[in-house]
Copies of this chain bind each other. A is one copy, B any other.
């Protein structure tokens, strides 16, 4: 039987590490690639690959609607998807703080395995380190991912043309609000993280031949930061209607009380897609019928720049227009 809490011995690389790997990680993640437990995993390749990595430091590691394990799979899978790749393999590096309850780690590993299944990827290799805790015991997770690039998925902000439509796949700010509410000790039965893999949604868009120009998932920095990047990289303006932005009522109320702007809040399961105008209605319909896409909306369009300065413009409900920059400074630390 494994000990009840993580000790430094679990990070030694010796027998205690091996037992932890077998009794927790292999039990949940097992697949033909991982089970060999070699220094590196051998997997089938492809002509062109996408590679990405993300570290996850969210606190608390369990929060309403999800946990750090689900987040660590979704974040990397979604980064591959929005790059035009079909996600295939994940690596997983655990940095455990001494004192972490093994039951918590087990629950997180189970959540990762379930999310990997949902996202269509295999966790093929991993690493475990243990560091001194600050008392409570916590954990950090890094995932790196490999996807196969598909010729039919050529996307990038450089493909954006004036007049394209901007679609967001659902409501803004849930993950941010859920984490912040949790830290504030809020009794919460209405705000849940939206952490989700976008595999089915993105596959459905490309499966239907939608001319997607660029995609991004909304994470740290929020929608405004993504759209500023699109503007900067394409050399165009992006204009969105403030009243078109979908926000759930409890999140809107939460933001109102705290003076937060959903435009700059992080999600973890929302897609922003720029599509050719003639395909916008079909794309919206496909996204709405996909998992996690029921509240999708067309929120704006791209256009020529004013005075050669690419920017994000927000049309206010009373007819005004304001420029919204990218996030500078910290929106919410340790959100993902």
Q: How far is the CB of A16 from chain B (nearest CB, A)?
A: 6
Q: How far is the CB of A12 from chain B (nearest CB, A)?
A: 4
User: Complex formed: what's the CA distance from A333 to B16 in Å?
Assistant: 13
Q: How far is the CB of A175 from chain B (nearest CB, A)?
A: 13
Q: Which one of A7, A47, A127 has the highest number of Cβ atoms from chain B below 10 Å of its Cβ?
A: A127
**Could you tell me how many residues of chain A have their Cβ less than 8 Å away from some Cβ of chain B?**
74
A95 touches B55 (CB 8 A): yes
Contacting residues, chain B, for A53 (C-beta < 8 A): 91-93, 125-127, 142, 144
User: Complex formed: what's the CA distance from A57 to B93 in Å?
Assistant: 12
* A91 and B45 contact, Cβ closer than 8 Å, known pairs A11-B330, A40-B83, A145-B40: no
User: Complex formed: what's the CA distance from A38 to B159 in Å?
Assistant: 14
- Residue from B56, B85, B145, B333 in contact with A11 in the complex, judged by beta carbons closer than 8 Å: B333
Contacting residues, chain B, for A7 (C-beta < 8 A): 330
* A14 and B328 contact, Cβ closer than 8 Å, known pairs A53-B93, A216-B39: yes
* A82 and B144 contact, Cβ closer than 8 Å, known pairs A44-B47, A326-B14: no
A47 touches B45 (CB 8 A): yes
A5 within 8 A of B: no
A324 within 8 A of B: no
A331 touches B140 (CB 8 A): no
- Residue from B52, B124, B126 in contact with A40 in the complex, judged by beta carbons closer than 8 Å: B52
A23 within 8 A of B: no
Q: How far is the CB of A6 from chain B (nearest CB, A)?
A: 12
A54 touches B220 (CB 8 A): no
- When C-beta atoms are compared, the residue in chain B nearest to A334 turns out to be B131
A46 within 8 A of B: yes
B93 touches A12 (CB 8 A): no
A147 touches B48 (CB 8 A): no
Contacting residues, chain B, for A85 (C-beta < 8 A): 40
Give the contacts of A1-44 with B (CB-CB under 8 A): 7-9, 11-16, 18, 38-44
Contacting residues, chain B, for A18 (C-beta < 8 A): 326
A115 within 8 A of B: no
* A220 and B89 contact, Cβ closer than 8 Å, known pairs A40-B147, A42-B48: no
B11 touches A124 (CB 8 A): no
User: Complex formed: what's the CA distance from A284 to B82 in Å?
Assistant: 49
1/0 contact string of A131-145 vs chain B (CB within 8 Å): 110100000101011
User: Complex formed: what's the CA distance from A132 to B217 in Å?
Assistant: 26
A302 within 8 A of B: no
Q: How far is the CB of A75 from chain B (nearest CB, A)?
A: 9
Q: Which one of A42, A43, A89, A334 has the highest number of Cβ atoms from chain B below 10 Å of its Cβ?
A: A42
Q: How far is the CB of A113 from chain B (nearest CB, A)?
A: 17
B51 touches A83 (CB 8 A): no
Q: How far is the CB of A224 from chain B (nearest CB, A)?
A: 9
- When C-beta atoms are compared, the residue in chain B nearest to A19 turns out to be B328
A156 within 8 A of B: yes
A52 touches B9 (CB 8 A): no
Please give me the 4 A-B residue pairs with the lowest Cβ-Cβ distance, nearest first: A13-B220, A144-B144, A14-B327, A53-B91
